[in-house]
Amino acid sequence: MSEPKIVFDHVWKKFRRGERYDSLRDLIPAAAARMVGRGKSESAALGEREFWAVQDVSFEVMEGRALGVIGPNGAGKSTTLKLLTKVLRPTRGEFRVKGRIGALIEIAAGFHPDLTGRENIFLQGTIMGMKHREIREKVDEIIAFAGVESFVDSPVKRYSSGMNARLGFSIAAHLDPDVLIIDEVLSVGDAAFQERCIRRMLEFKQRGVALVFVSHNLQAISQLCDQALFLKGATQAIGQPAEVIRRYLETAMVREQTDSGSPIDVVEARLLDSITGEPVSVVEPGRRLTLRARYMVREAVEGINLTLVCYRSTDMLTVYDGNFRDEETHINQVAPGNEIEIDLDLSANLTRGQYHLKLEVFHNPTQTRLSSLSPAAMLTVEENRTYDGIADLAVNPVVHTRD
């Protein structure tokens, strides 16, 4: 059995609030104090103004596998990557990275602003361990992949953030690494570049490269990664991407509900199996479901639309947006001061992934939203047939043999 390319073993990292060194005069005494303090119990507890950025985090990544790291801002994701690339040293614990490392952990980090894109390719390539001959052989391919042909001989200080990201990723992607560490490269750049990045990372996996990928693009995490790590200082969940993403979304998605007092309020909702009537959250494609919603009617209002919106939670893509008029729901016939319960029957004709539902009350004549509830319910669709997409087309192959 092959050894893991990356081992992160019970790693802790702490920082001091307000820690900053503006000169060697400040840095040298601080470094000396740290060296004198090493070997004591300084790493075992927090001192004044200190805090743990990473707490007791462990994982392994085998060759040809990808780990997606997710979590809110300030969760320790970038700190973890900087530890892996030896930009930082752990306070406690240890880690091992086997082989040549390609890394993009900050957009344009290491780029010299006054050098051209071409000159920075040679500079960055050398820093990453590429030989001059190797860079020279790959420079045209690096430029083409980044899509900066027209600007490659201009200083990078004139580049946009997207151009910087494309060039930085392209250099790292042509390093032929054993380990590739990427931080938020998909947060900038256009859709075509993001697709090229995904394809390139999938190619790396096929070649046996181990990847660690930090992104807020949860759809890319689910598409690319074999396992996922949900960080929030410490490990909140680690395992199959679908389950870890679901755990993250449950904590990240704060339920939003408009203030009560509008003429008609959506009060609460439950997602049920249409046959058994039991609450449900994980289903297969095509499952018949009922979203049971309760509304409070304070005033009799004509021209009310009840709206149901379904989003793919990983990228907030709108999957469905439907309106139901008061002649369908009869909500205009409810006497003021009373509640009404309405069942919205639906089919989960969706491919695998995480989804959530939103309910709205809309006054059509004035184009005014009166009330909303989001997420009204969360839903995970599990299946193994599709690779990408949203709608389940229920495709079944039919084979006809001929003599």
Q: Using DSSP, state whether 120 is helix, strand or coil.
A: helix
**Where are any strands of DSSP class E within 184-250?**
210-214, 227-232, 234-239
Alpha-carbon 68 to chain mean position:
8
CB 257 within 8 A of CB 80: no
Q: Residue 259: its pLDDT value, please?
A: 62
Distance CA 142, CA 128 (A): 14
User: Among 62, 72, 82, 75, which residue's Cα sits nearest to residue 181?
Assistant: 82
Q: How many CA atoms lie within 13 A of 300 on its CB side?
A: 6
* H/E segment holding residue 129: none
Q: Residue 21: its pLDDT value, please?
A: 44
Read off the tokens for 79.
């700190």
Q: Is 171 exposed, middle or buried (0-12, 13-18, 19+ CB in 10 A)?
A: buried
Q: Residue 22: its pLDDT value, please?
A: 46
Could you list the pLDDT tens digit for every one of the 403 residues in the chain?
Answer: 578 999 999 999 999 876 554 444 444 555 555 555 544 444 557 777 889 999 999 999 999 999 999 999 889 998 999 899 888 899 999 999 998 887 777 655 568 889 999 999 998 888 777 888 989 999 999 999 888 999 999 999 999 878 888 888 888 778 788 898 888 766 656 677 777 788 888 888 999 999 999 988 888 888 889 999 999 999 999 999 988 998 898 888 777 777 667 899 999 999 999 999 999 999 999 999 999 999 999 998 999 999 999 999 988 899 999 999 988 999 989 999 999 999 999 999 999 999 999 999 999 999 999 999 999 999 999 988 888 889 999 898 999 988 7
Distance CA 206, CA 225 (A): 12
* Sheet bearing 338-348, strands edge to edge: 264-273, 287-297, 338-348
CB 264 within 8 A of CB 298: yes
Q: How many CA atoms lie within 13 A of 108 on its CB side?
A: 18
Read off the tokens for 338.
């009373």
User: Among 250, 224, 259, 225, which residue's Cα sits nearest to residue 240?
Assistant: 225
Amino acid at 267: V
CB 348 within 8 A of CB 289: yes
Distance CA 53, CA 267 (A): 39
Distance CA 224, CA 199 (A): 9
Q: Residue 19: its pLDDT value, please?
A: 57
Q: Using DSSP, state whether 158 is helix, strand or coil.
A: helix
Buried b (16+ CB within 10 A) or exposed e, 155-168: bbeebeebbbbbbb
Distance CA 14, CA 55 (A): 8
Q: Residue 108: its pLDDT value, please?
A: 54
Q: Domains plus CATH for the chain?
A: 6-251 (3.40.50.300), 256-381 (2.70.50.60)
For the chain, give the number of residues.
Answer: 403
Cis peptide before 375 (omega within 30 of 0): yes
Residue with tokens 């040809």: 64
Q: Is 221 exposed, middle or buried (0-12, 13-18, 19+ CB in 10 A)?
A: buried
Read off the tokens for 169.
């990723």
Q: Residue 192: its pLDDT value, please?
A: 75
Read off the tokens for 389.
């997409």
Alpha-carbon 81 to chain mean position:
15
Q: Residue 109: its pLDDT value, please?
A: 58
Distance CA 174, CA 171 (A): 5
